[in-house]
Amino acid sequence: MKQEIYLDNSATTRALPEVVQAVSAALENNYGNPSSLHGKGVAAERAVRQARAAVASLLGVKAEEIFFTSGGTEANNWALRGVALSHRRRGNHVITTVVEHPSVLRACQELEAEGYQVTYLPVDRTGEISPDDLASALTPETILVSVMHVNNEVGAVQPLQQVGALLRKREPKPVFHVDAIQGYGKLPLNPYDLGIDLVSVSAHKIHGPKGVGALFIREGVRLKPLLVGGEQEANLRAGTENVPGIVGLGSATAAARGRMSQGLEHMRGLKTALASRVMGEIPGTRLNGPSPEQGAPHILNLSFPGVKGEVLIHTLETDGIYVSTGSACHSRRNDPSHVLVAMGLKKKELDGAIRFSFSHLNTPEEIDMVVERLAEAVRDLRSL
Ligand SMILES: Cc1ncc(COP(=O)(O)O)c(C=O)c1O
C-alpha 212 to ligand 1 mean position (Å):
11
- The mean predicted confidence, pLDDT, of the chain is 96
Same domain for 245 and 321, yes or no, is no
Q: What phi and psi, each to the nearest 5 degrees, are found at residue 256?
A: -65, -40
> Percent of the chain beyond pLDDT 90?
96
Q: How far apart are CA 104 and CA 202, in angstroms?
A: 14
C-alpha 146 to ligand 1 mean position (Å):
14
Q: End of a domain among 255, 277, 296?
A: 255
DSSP string, 170-238: SSSPPEEEEE-TTTTTTS---HHHHT--EEEEEGGGTTS-SS-EEEEE-TT-----SS-SS-HHHHTS-
Band (pLDDT 50/70/90 cuts) for residue 334 is low
Q: End of a domain among 207, 234, 255?
A: 255
Same domain for 230 and 302, yes or no, is no
Band (pLDDT 50/70/90 cuts) for residue 1 is low
Average confidence (pLDDT) over 64-91: 98
* pLDDT tens profile 246-275: 999 999 999 999 999 999 999 999 999 999
Same domain for 174 and 310, yes or no, is no
CB 130 within 8 A of CB 158: no
Same domain for 270 and 250, yes or no, is no
Q: End of a domain among 255, 286, 317?
A: 255
Ligand 1 pocket mutation, candidates 152, 210, 331, criterion most atoms within 8 A of CB = 152
Same domain for 276 and 155, yes or no, is no
Residue 367 domain boundaries:
5-13+260-382
The pTM of this model reads 0.97
Pocket of ligand 1 (CB under 6 A): 71-73, 76, 101, 103, 148, 152, 179, 181-182, 202, 204, 213, 328-329
CB 302 within 8 A of CB 278: yes
CB 215 within 8 A of CB 262: no
Same domain for 173 and 307, yes or no, is no
Ligand 1 pocket mutation, candidates 152, 181, 242, criterion most atoms within 8 A of CB = 181
Same domain for 349 and 215, yes or no, is no
C-alpha 169 to ligand 1 mean position (Å):
30
Band (pLDDT 50/70/90 cuts) for residue 293 is very high
Same domain for 76 and 206, yes or no, is yes
Measured from the Cβ of residue 78, the count of other Cβ atoms closer than 10 Å reads 26
Band (pLDDT 50/70/90 cuts) for residue 335 is confident
Same domain for 183 and 286, yes or no, is no
Above 60 in pLDDT, residue 239? yes
Can you give the pLDDT at residue 3?
87
Q: How far apart are CA 113 and CA 212, in angstroms?
A: 28
Q: Which residues are catalytic?
A: 329
Q: How many domains does the chain have?
A: 2
